Amino acid sequence: MTNEKADVPPKEKKEKKFKGVVVIERELCKGCAFCVEFCPTHVLELDKGFNAKGYHPPVFAKPDLCNGCDMCGLYCPDFAIFGYREKNEEPAGRFE
């Protein structure tokens, strides 16, 4: 029995065409953590600090992993957070 997986070269990491961005309105947040719990890429965490209302709002802890799906915004009952996709800039000198 041969190990076919050993013959397959490792896949190259694809360059992302976009990056995800999350905008958080700290003062509108009531700290329910729905955004943190339902984020499919787990890029959000609750802040250790408080907002003016005394709640722990989310922070964008792992921006490189975000895909901009806006699941956080869809679940937020207070419209305090939303996500979107932004095109990555072309690397300089790529088409020379």
Strands 58-60, 44-46: pairing kind: antiparallel
Residue 5 lies in a domain: no
Separation of alpha carbons 24 and 22, rounded Å: 6
Query: Domain range spanning residue 36?
Result: 18-85
Mean pLDDT of the region 79-88 = 96
Mean pLDDT of the region 46-60 = 97
Statement: residue 59 has pLDDT above 80? yes
Return the minimum-mean-pLDDT range out of 1-5, 6-10, 40-44, 75-79: 1-5
What is the 8-class DSSP label of residue 94? T
Statement: residue 4 has pLDDT above 60? no
Residue 64 lies in a domain: yes
Enter the tokens of residue 78.
Answer: 């207070």
Task: Please say whether the beta carbons of 51 and 29 come within 8 A.
Answer: yes
Task: Please say whether the beta carbons of 51 and 27 come within 8 A.
Answer: yes
Residue 78 lies in a domain: yes
What is the 8-class DSSP label of residue 57? -
Mean pLDDT of the region 13-21 = 84
At 69, which CATH number?
Answer: 3.30.70.20
Count: domains in the chain: 1
Task: Please say whether the beta carbons of 39 and 62 come within 8 A.
Answer: no
pTM: 0.74
